[in-house]
Structure 1
Amino acid sequence: MENSSGPYRKKIDEMSDLMKDMLNLTKDLQLDFSNTQIAFADRSDKELNKTAWLFGLLNHQWLVGIGSKIGLAAIKLHLPFVQGAIKNTIFEQFCGGTTLLEAQKTIDRLQRSNIKTILDYGAEAKEDESELNHTMNENLRSIEFASKQSFVPIISTKLSGLGRFELLESVQAGVAFTEETKSEYKSILRRLDAICHAASTKGMSVFIDAEESWIQDTVDHLAEMMMKRYNTERAVVYTTCQMYRHDRLQYLYELYERAQKEGYLLGVKLVRGAYMEKERDRAEEMGYSSPIHATKEATDEAYNTALRFCINHHDKIASCNASHNTDSALLQAKLMVERNIPRNHPNLMFCQLYGMSDTLTFNLAAAGFNAAKYVVYGSVREVVPYLIRRAQENTSVTGDMSREYRLVADEIKRRGLKM
């Protein structure tokens, strides 16, 4: 080290201070995200070993790449043995069940750890009217099902499951309606309104997921329309902000101002984002500036700034911190405790995907925070695109253990088991 008083020394001092702050924060909050005993308390030794085996496979990038292509092709060819293999491995890890009744076991299991369930029917990118209506009806069934359960307060839906993607894209691009597309667009409104109305009357809420930037303006418009209609007394409808987009922080501020002016409670789910490579590739291909922050640090800063804003206005914004980032989870927990906001405040929620980041969800719930799992359900065929994304997220590019694999391995070691 060249100079103990130079930039290197300063960096080490900053890291040392951060570690001290983390230790003090953990003690004050009674919250330890390294506690795998709590995170995997509901898993038997056999289940834990199976999870380790699965994440071990997912840790190989080449295997996930080949498996994704073969899996998609086999599902399209209706090969039954492939569906069975998927259902007993990756589906079992990341999905709650093929039907609502199957998902009940997952809901009950989470409830025993004081964790809520956010139900999501996993169908994506539907095209014809019968498929789109089926998705709407399944959403309505999930609302009816969830309304009878105290630990399922919210369902999630995608606009691309309620209307043709190409239509949503053409609306955003300003393409003039024909009589046919005008009728189609009205059908999207009808489907979305039916879901939000059912949620309103049943005491439920609805997350409207964010999607690709080239349809997101259309999604935003429809989400705002539903919030204005149904969020007069409580947050029935939540929109979603993907904070890896460099325009989303300003959008959040403007959205809040509109909600205040028009007299409704803002509902916001914060995520970092799910389509980074797709967004950047399209921007490069079509010759426009990427909507994504140039660095991860910029995304993190935008996300945490948005988080602070929502917490500062939690009386007028119902928010969900839907992140797998430990620092963001700690930030919200810290701010809530410092400001004496009840840990189970209904306007401040944490949420992670089922099958991932159990050290966050289970430890937050054990510490009394309002924590939930995002539980996807549906037939194996319908959820394969979702499962491929989960597999790719848990693949190690560097050859090191992925985070999920490492945490499971830590718990296996703590139990004195062999991998």
Structure 2
Amino acid sequence: MAKRLPTTALRLFSRRLDTAFSSSFAVGSQPLKLEPAAPTIVDLDDHWKLFASVSTSKLLRSSVNLGFVANETFVDFGMWVMDSRLMETTLVRDVILKTVKHTMFDHFCVGETTEEAGMCIRKIHKAGLRGMLSYAVEHTTNNDGCDRNLEGFIRNVEFSKSLPPSSVSFVIAKMTAICPISLLRRVSDLLRWQYKDPSFALPWKLNTLPIFTNTSPLYHTLEKPEPLTPEEEQDLELAHKRLQKLCQKCVDLNVPLTIDAEDTSLQPAIDYFTYSSAIMFNKDENAIVYGTIQAYLKDSKERLFMASKTAENLGIPMGFKLVRGAYMSKETRAASELGYDSPIHSSIEETHSCYDDCASYMLERIADGNDAVVLATHNLQSGKVAALKARNLGIQRGNPKLEFAQLYGMSEALSFGLRNAGFQVSKYLPYGPVDMVMPYLLRRAEENRGLLSTSNVDRVLMGKELKRRVKSLQFGKAGDELHEGRNRHTIAQIPQQAPRFCSYT
């Protein structure tokens, strides 16, 4: 088991983030901000340039859908319906799923099949964006389902290579789809107990990176768990083999794999699977396996530092996707029921500050030739600050170790603004049957409660661009064709050699 990080090392971590770029960054309980006089390289004001690659019909649909998801009454009712016993009635369920398909599904997902997903990727690639391809299966309870999901993930990797070169930046997988949920919970309990009691033996445990800190939510395991049964150990071995088969396919086809995060009751086992696989497959400065850090957790900064430094000491290149997190209500409720404080920062400002500190640290790591990061953020300020820091650190355009990302259907202005500034930008693209994608859609509905300001920015800018097109008679087929012609001109104006930099929540 990895040693716990000394307090002095954590102080050095905080100082480094504080002093690395003092003109724009400050570590503390407040979010990091651009100084009033500081330049910005991400223009989010020019709606013509931002949405030059988007058709009028797409703009109109997006504006309407964002209006719906910004309405909390609508979201509350929709979540209640989708999570109610009404879904158990076949006729009602069919009506609900059809309604969802033509509203939230069409907005946040890219189709039900690989063919539909491929069409979307080709469109956004022409617009200068890339895709993180996610076959959106999760929460499996048995080995048969895990085997089927693995085949889906394998097909997803193979499919990515049939698309235009560089149009797919990552493929996404969830451990809950290839390892039974009950086993993930058992492994998490055992890992937590071993952290509390290092003498507690886990004979099945592979080499891994640090998973816990002294501030990690260990309250999920209050009593010493029983060892894995022979059947559970066999299932654990099967889960390892599934992930290793997927990783090997990604290595063979040179497609990076990002493993998504879950809530803290399951995350220790997911980190264990992710890090043990990274040790096996991340070679020669090429990070194929990426883990996910959720910055709304109080222990996230320390865990990121410990994992990255341990990987460096082992000579293993490591990649991380940095997000804010999507399980806030569930985490707070679970901690409260057990009589513990929430593992999530007590304010959104503290979460913003933690995210920006972690992003700053990872950008410095990249500038020093270490690690790789996907900065998945919908926060406009975080995007602007990270972009400016990347430029000042001299991170070159096209650097494969740096990617910005936003969810499909969200923060379009930020995506296009970062693209126009010369960064590599990806959209997270989930696809699959509507009923299979429902858990993802429920999380997006819940997450939008905290993203109303961002969606309002998109709606305002989209509205301005729609008005401009109406005034210019740029609507319908002719308008879209004219707009696409202007888009080609606009994208051609993006510098081929951006000045010393490149380029969830």
TM-score, with structure 1 as normaliser: 0.89
Task: State the partner residue of 1:85.
Answer: 99
In the aligned structure 2, how far is the partner of 1:366 from the partner of 1:247? Answer: 34
Q: Quote how far apart the aligned CAs of 1:197 are.
A: 0.9
Deviates more, 1:125-134 or 1:52-61: 52-61
Residue 32 of structure 1 pairs with residue 30 of structure 2: no
- Secondary structure of the corresponding residue to residue 237 of structure 2: helix
Equivalences for residues 20-419 of structure 1 within 5 A: 20-21=37-38, 24-25=39-40, 29=41, 31-73=42-84, 76-78=88-90, 79-149=93-163, 150=165, 151-174=167-190, 175=225, 176-233=227-284, 234-314=286-366, 315-395=369-449, 402-416=456-470
More helix by share: 1
Which amino acid in 2 is paired with 1:367?
A
Runs of 4 or more above 6 Å deviation: 396-401
Q: Quote how far apart the aligned CAs of 1:98 are.
A: 0.4
- Secondary structure of the corresponding residue to residue 134 of structure 2: strand
In the aligned structure 1, how far is the partner of 2:370 from the partner of 2:115? Answer: 36
Task: State the partner residue of 2:198.
Answer: none
- Secondary structure of the corresponding residue to residue 156 of structure 1: strand
Report how many aligned residue pairs link the two structures: 398
Which amino acid in 1 is paired with 2:254?
G
Counterparts in 2 of 1:90 and 1:277: CA distance versus 1, 3 Å: same
Verify the 8 A CA contact 1:35 1:363 in the aligned structure 2. no
Q: Quote how far apart the aligned CAs of 1:69 are.
A: 2.7
Query: What are the Cα deviations for residues 104-134 of structure 1, in whole angstroms up to 9, with x where unaligned?
Result: 1110111011111001111121112222111
Task: State the partner residue of 2:6.
Answer: none
- Root mean square deviation of aligned Cα: 2.4
Q: Quote how far apart the aligned CAs of 1:70 are.
A: 2.3
- Secondary structure of the corresponding residue to residue 288 of structure 1: coil
Task: State the partner residue of 1:6.
Answer: none
Q: Quote how far apart the aligned CAs of 1:416 are.
A: 4.2
Verify the 8 A CA contact 1:395 1:402 in the aligned structure 2. no
- Secondary structure of the corresponding residue to residue 168 of structure 2: coil
Percent sequence identity is 29
Q: Quote how far apart the aligned CAs of 1:88 are.
A: 2.1
In the aligned structure 1, how far is the partner of 2:254 from the partner of 2:351? Answer: 34
Q: Quote how far apart the aligned CAs of 1:393 are.
A: 3.2
Verify the 8 A CA contact 2:260 2:291 in the aligned structure 1. yes
Query: What are the Cα deviations for residues 380-399 of structure 1, in whole angstroms up to 9, with x where unaligned?
Result: 01111211222333358999
Q: Quote how far apart the aligned CAs of 1:357 are.
A: 0.6
In the aligned structure 1, how far is the partner of 2:116 from the partner of 2:137? Answer: 16
In the aligned structure 2, how far is the partner of 1:397 from the partner of 1:120? Answer: 22
Query: What are the Cα deviations for residues 181-225 of structure 1, in whole angstroms up to 9, with x where unaligned?
Result: 112211211111111111011111100111111111111111111
Q: Quote how far apart the aligned CAs of 1:404 are.
A: 3.9
Where does structure 1 lack aligned partners over 5 or more consecutive residues?
1-14
Verify the 8 A CA contact 2:34 2:385 in the aligned structure 1. no
In the aligned structure 2, how far is the partner of 1:137 from the partner of 1:367? Answer: 38
Query: What are the Cα deviations for residues 295-341 of structure 1, in whole angstroms up to 9, with x where unaligned?
Result: 22221221111111111111111111011111221122112211222
Verify the 8 A CA contact 1:61 1:397 in the aligned structure 2. no
Verify the 8 A CA contact 2:135 2:432 in the aligned structure 1. yes
Counterparts in 2 of 1:237 and 1:401: CA distance versus 1, 3 Å: closer
Deviates more, 1:335-344 or 1:76-85: 76-85
Verify the 8 A CA contact 2:132 2:426 in the aligned structure 1. yes
Query: What are the Cα deviations for residues 333-353 of structure 1, in whole angstroms up to 9, with x where unaligned?
Result: 112211222122110110000
In the aligned structure 1, how far is the partner of 2:158 from the partner of 2:452? Answer: 45
Counterparts in 2 of 1:229 and 1:188: CA distance versus 1, 3 Å: same
In the aligned structure 2, how far is the partner of 1:292 from the partner of 1:387? Answer: 22
Q: Quote how far apart the aligned CAs of 1:86 are.
A: 2.1
In the aligned structure 2, how far is the partner of 1:351 from the partner of 1:122? Answer: 17
TM-score, with structure 2 as normaliser: 0.74
Task: State the partner residue of 1:4.
Answer: none
Counterparts in 2 of 1:90 and 1:264: CA distance versus 1, 3 Å: same
Q: Quote how far apart the aligned CAs of 1:400 are.
A: 12
- Secondary structure of the corresponding residue to residue 241 of structure 1: strand
In the aligned structure 2, how far is the partner of 1:394 from the partner of 1:329? Answer: 18
In the aligned structure 2, how far is the partner of 1:95 from the partner of 1:167? Answer: 29
